[in-house]
Amino acid sequence: MAKVYFAFGIHNHQPIGNFNFVFEDAYQKSYLPFLEKLEAHPKIRIAQHYSGILFDWILANHPDYIQRLAQLTTSGQVEMMTGAHFEPILMTIPDRDKIGQILKLTQTVKKHTRYDAKGLWLAERVWEPHLPKVLREAHVEYTIVDDSHFKYAGLKEDQLAGYYVTEEQGATINVFPISEKLRYTIPFQNPEATLDYLREIAERGDDQVAIFADDGEKFGVWPGTYDHVFTNNWLEHFFSAVEQAGDWVEMIHFSEVLRRIAPKGRVYLPAASYREMMEWALPFRATRELEDFENKLKESDLFDRYGIYVRGGFWRNFLAKYPESNRMHKKMLYVSRKIEQNKEKLSRDLQIDALDHLWAGQCNCSYWHGVFGGLYLTHLRYAIYKNLIQAENILDKTVEKKNITTSVFDLTGNGKQDIIVESPILNLYIDPAIGGNIFELDYKPGAVNLIDTMTRREEAYHRKLLKEHQNNHADGVASIHDLIISKEENLQQYLKYDWYDRNALIDHFLAPNTSIRKFADSQYHEIGDFIHHPYEFDIKSDSVGANIILSRDGFIRMKQEQVPVRISKKLTIYQEKSLVQIEYRIRNISAEKLDLHFGVEWNTGLLAGHNGDRFYRSPDVEIEDNYLDSFGELPELYRLSLIDLWQNLKITFAYHQPTTIWRFPIETISLSEAGFERVYQNSVVLSHWKFALNDGEEKRISFSYEIEAAQ
600-655, pLDDT tens digit by residue?
A: 999 999 999 999 999 999 999 999 999 999 999 999 999 999 999 999 999 999 99
Mean pLDDT of 19-41: 98
The reply to whether 501 belongs to the active site is no
The reply to whether 418 belongs to the active site is no
Query: Has residue 487 got a pLDDT over 80?
Result: no
Minimal CA–CA distance to 260: which of 162, 182, 372?
162
pLDDT at 478: 31
d(CA 29, CA 36): 12
3-class DSSP state of 439: strand
pLDDT at 707: 98
d(CA 53, CA 56): 5
pLDDT at 470: 53
Query: Has residue 483 got a pLDDT over 60?
Result: no
CB 89 within 8 A of CB 83: no
pLDDT at 475: 41
**What crossing angle do the helices spanning 63-75 and 95-113 adopt, rounded to 10°?**
80
The pTM assigned to this predicted structure is 0.95
Query: Has residue 229 got a pLDDT over 90?
Result: yes
pLDDT at 400: 66
Mean pLDDT rounded to a whole number for the chain: 94
- 403 — pLDDT class (breaks 50, 70, 90): confident
181-219, pLDDT tens digit by residue?
A: 999 999 999 999 999 999 999 999 999 999 999 999 999
3-class DSSP state of 113: helix
d(CA 551, CA 536): 5
Query: Has residue 436 got a pLDDT over 90?
Result: yes
pLDDT at 477: 29
pLDDT at 467: 79
Domains of the chain with bracketed CATH: 4-273 (3.20.110.20), 317-449 (no CATH)
Give the active site residue among 97, 124, 214, 431: 124
- 433 — pLDDT class (breaks 50, 70, 90): very high
pLDDT at 480: 25
130-157, pLDDT tens digit by residue?
A: 999 999 999 999 999 999 999 999 999 9
Per DSSP (E only), the strands in 293-425 are 405-409, 418-422
505-542, pLDDT tens digit by residue?
A: 999 999 999 999 999 999 999 999 999 999 999 999 88
d(CA 84, CA 120): 8
Give the active site residue among 215, 291, 521, 677: 215
Query: Has residue 100 got a pLDDT over 90?
Result: yes
3-class DSSP state of 240: helix
* Burial annotation 331-359 (CB, 10 A radius, 16+ → b, else e): bbbbbbebbeeeeeebeeeebeebbbbbb
DSSP 473-526: HHHS---TTT---BSSTTGGGG----SS---EEEEEEB-TT--HHHHHTT-S-B
d(CA 362, CA 79): 26
First CA to last CA distance, the chain: 74
**Parallel, antiparallel, or unpaired for β 614-617 and 632-644?**
antiparallel
d(CA 392, CA 75): 44
Q: Angle at the Cα of 386 (from 652 to 405), degrees rounded to 5?
A: 70
pLDDT at 481: 31
CB atoms within 10 A of CB 381: 26
**What crossing angle do the helices spanning 348-360 and 378-398 adopt, rounded to 10°?**
160
